[in-house]
Structure 1
């Protein structure tokens, strides 16, 4: 008789953990989707908009050191989603449009202005300090 054919055999902890992880993954995976977060694609006036999101989920589970009925194991998990952009389909042409945070529109030009004014001053000071 092989291992799986033995009746009433206790399930090893590794098998219990694998079953628990599979159940958690199924439940989280069914809830963490773009359509669950943002809805279905929308078509209006010949333009179709398909939302794009970054979705992540994680889970963990475990059992104690002793096998038995009182030691069934525990587990937990979570999911999160962030909008990343949308795909616009117009006249048979698809284009990805990323969503940027509003502060990026102000921060990038300010950083470029700051770098453009500070870097020449630093170069001049370093040039003066250099021994000749």
Structure 2
């Protein structure tokens, strides 16, 4: 294949795409912080509470081989509360946040398993050939 065999189409510059992605990541990352979502740490009565969150961001982009393709992209940011750090009397303690149903579901599942398992074991022992 010679140079005259190649079509006259611009080739997307990989460096330009990488620079765009880096700029997007920097801008999203600077805005996706715990303090931006939940506020600054609070101190009252000698206790400091620092919010802890899981913050994630993602984005994608692309361009086609056509001369008119200028590219397209999109992105998003999400945050979920995970807990807080409590600083009291010089000691820091992490306190996770759990869904309220966990406080009911876990003990209920343990009670159910403790009740049903002995019954199942007894039935299986009765069915076993001797």
Q: TM-score, normalised by structure 2?
A: 0.86
Counterpart in the other structure of 1:91: 89
Offset of residue 31 of structure 1: 1.7
Q: How many residues align?
A: 121
Distance 1:113 1:75, change over 3 A: same
Offset of residue 121 of structure 1: 1.0
In the alignment, is the contact (CA less than 8 A) between 1:28 and 1:57 conserved in 2? Answer: yes
Unaligned runs of at least 5 residues, structure 1? 1-9
In the alignment, is the contact (CA less than 8 A) between 1:64 and 1:73 conserved in 2? Answer: yes
Using the alignment, how far apart are the partners of 1:123 and 1:79 within structure 2? 50
Counterpart in the other structure of 1:56: 56
The match for 1:114 among 108, 112, 115 is 112
Structure 2 residue 98 is the aligned partner of structure 1 residue 100: yes
Unaligned runs of at least 5 residues, structure 2? 1-9
Using the alignment, how far apart are the partners of 2:69 and 2:16 within structure 1? 11
Report the 3-state secondary structure (helix = DSSP H, G, I; strand = E; otherwise coil) of the residue aligned with 1:100. Answer: coil
In the alignment, is the contact (CA less than 8 A) between 2:12 and 2:65 conserved in 1? Answer: no
